[in-house]
Structure 1
Amino acid sequence: MIEGLVERAGGDDEDAIEELVAIADSEPGRLGQYHARMLQLDVLWPGKLYRGAGEGVVSDVIAQVEAGQELGRLNHLLLVLAHSGHPLAEGALRRWAEAPAPGFEALHVGPLAYAREGGWSVDADGRRRELCAGVAYEWLIRDAAPRADRPGCPWCRSPLWRAAELDAGETDALRHTGWSGRLTVETCAFCSCYTTLYSRVQPDGGAAWWDGNARPDYLGDGEAEEPPNRVAVAGPRRPGPYQASAWGTGGSTLGGHPDWIQDAEHPDCPECGRAMDYVGLIGGADLDEYGEGAYYIHLHAPCGFAAVNYQQS
């Protein structure tokens, strides 16, 4: 079955590509033996089809990059390397950061920035760091308990939305962040649709708007609105780390890897500048029957910052 899908994908059959993506999300190991054929057929998009690609395929991709490619194909090859997560891919991205391969002058970002598309980064100290958890859990969206005192957004005056509440001891989803204790994520459901919003968080569950949030010039003075009266709580473990869905009902996921609607958008910690760890996704479809897009939640435990950003098609 997969062999046929690969051949059809090589002929630009979008339905076949969608089926391969579904396999990459549910059982990525099943595609390993077909990666070489996919590369031969120039099936490069999306890059997550190459999760866990082996040394031979990764070496071939590196050789193609170093031979020089037009911008669009170069971009796809770099995404393939990022999603492979292979040590050879990491080494190549590091090398090209110092000595760019042909065509890199046309890229909009440096080669190491591509690592974030695969859910990892190379910190300023040179160490590789996984930004995502290797396990994932359903994020159950429940009605929130009434609150007598709800802080308001300093920009639009809407009550802040308590998006998620969880304890690090409930699941393994926060282990990669180093967080211990209770985590409360509170943000403006409306202003976070226009820019990344940061909050200070504490292990006792405390959360407060960060005064350093920068209001975009294009953000108008709208009327205060009621945020979703819904909160995400940890549910059962998902079969794999790639089960989040930014589109479908039930796709909200704690841990694992994000389902980005656009490019990967791991924010930097506003205090130390390191990439923040990914915590989970809350889909608009789980908040409201007419909801769209998705909220992405991030954490940088050493500096005590949470962040929320939003994407839609």
Structure 2
Amino acid sequence: MIEELIRKVSVGDDDAIEELSIIADTDPVRLTPYLGFLFDRDVWWPARLYRAADADLVHRVVERIDGGRTPDRLNHLLLILAHSGHPLAESALRRWSTQPPAGADKLYVGALSYGREGGWTVGPDGHRRNMCGSSAYRWIMREAPRRADRPTCPWCGSPLWTAAELDTADPSVGAALRHTGWSGRLVIETCHFCACYTTLYSQVTPTGDTFWWPGNTRPGYLGSAEAEDPPAPAPGEARQSPYQASAWDQGGSTLGGWPDWIQDAEHADCPGCGQPMDYVGLIGGADLDDGEGAYYLHLHQPLNYQQS
């Protein structure tokens, strides 16, 4: 099956690339033996195809960048390395952060910042930190319980939405949040409407308290909010792989794992320490009857939204 898809890709079949991308989401190691062939034929997009790139291929990508042979496609090559997450890739990105390769002057961010696209970063202590988890679970939408004392959004007046109500005592939740180091309850309340316009932050505690962060900055424009009561997500069955969240498809909402970005990776930074937050999960508009867009949850507690 993969051999046939590879053959179709070599003659420019975009549908075959899409099918290979699905394999990269469900079982990326299956593609490892074929990645050299794809790379030699300049099939460098989407970069997530290279999640399971081996040391040999990563070394070839690094050599190509160091050789300065395709500076106009440096962005694609750096994305491949970021998604591979390989130690050789990390080492090269660190080196290029102080010794930029040919073509780096055309990039919008430094080489090491590309790690965010692959779900990892380098902290102030110089050590690598994975912002995404290795376990993922489907998020099932359930009717939100009605509370007379629900707090309201200070901007639009809508009742705040419980976007997450979790407890690491649940083995599924504990596995999904292990990379965050969080222990205890995690409740995130936010405005379903205003989160479409800006990143919103909440202050939370391991006892389940959640408060609107007073430092949230109201955007210059907000539309007119309509009364809505979105469902509340609850953890369901385990995903086959941590890459199976979907920002587009019904049933794609996922706790843990890796995000399915609609645009570029947008791991929000903590307003307190300035470091990128750990990814918690994705809630897709298709599961909220919104039609499009997705909400992305992080710790320490930014929540942002992307729309196609």
Fold-level similarity (TM above 0.5): yes
The residue correspondences of 1:54-93 to structure 2 (distance < 5 A) are 54-68=54-68, 73-93=73-93
Query: Secondary structure of 1:308's partner?
Result: strand
Deviations 1:224-264 (A, max 9, x none): 43233310111111111111111111111000111111111
Residue 211 of structure 2: aligned partner = 208
Deviations 1:154-177 (A, max 9, x none): 222222111121111212101110
Residue 312 of structure 1: aligned partner = 307
Residue 148 of structure 2: aligned partner = 148
Alignment partners' CA distance in 1, 2:135 and 2:190: 25
Deviations 1:251-280 (A, max 9, x none): 110001111111111011110111100000
1:74 is displaced (CA, Å) by 0.9
The size of the alignment, in residue pairs, is 305
Given the superposition, is the C-alpha separation of residues 261 and 71 from structure 1 closer, same or farther in structure 2, using an over 3 Å criterion? farther
CA contact (8 A) 2:64 2:70 kept: no
Deviations 1:154-209 (A, max 9, x none): 22222211112111121210111011111111111111111111100111111111
The residue correspondences of 1:1-313 to structure 2 (distance < 5 A) are 1-68=1-68, 73-170=73-170, 171=172, 172-217=175-220, 219-220=221-222, 222-288=223-289, 290-299=290-299, 305-313=300-308
Query: Secondary structure of 2:182's partner?
Result: coil
TM-score, length-normalised on structure 2? 0.96
1:70 is displaced (CA, Å) by 5.1
Return the letter of the residue paired with 2:211.
A
Given the superposition, is the C-alpha separation of residues 225 and 69 from structure 1 closer, same or farther in structure 2, using an over 3 Å criterion? farther
Alignment partners' CA distance in 1, 2:247 and 2:277: 20
Deviations 1:2-34 (A, max 9, x none): 122123223321101000001000111100000
Deviations 1:113-167 (A, max 9, x none): 1101101111122110010010100111100111111212122222211112111
Return the letter of the residue paired with 2:305.
Y
Structure 1 unaligned runs (5+)? 300-304
CA contact (8 A) 2:65 2:71 kept: no
Structure 2 unaligned runs (5+)? none
Computed over aligned residues only, the root mean square deviation of the Cα atoms, in angstroms, reads: 1.3
Alignment partners' CA distance in 1, 2:54 and 2:229: 44
CA contact (8 A) 1:262 1:311 kept: yes
Given the superposition, is the C-alpha separation of residues 70 and 191 from structure 1 closer, same or farther in structure 2, using an over 3 Å criterion? farther
Alignment partners' CA distance in 1, 2:27 and 2:237: 19
Return the letter of the residue paired with 2:210.
A
Runs of 4+ in structure 1 off by over 3 angstroms are 69-72
Alignment partners' CA distance in 1, 2:229 and 2:252: 17
Alignment partners' CA distance in 2, 1:269 and 1:48: 26
Return the letter of the residue paired with 2:303.
V
CA contact (8 A) 1:159 1:225 kept: no
CA contact (8 A) 2:48 2:80 kept: yes
Alignment partners' CA distance in 1, 2:266 and 2:60: 28
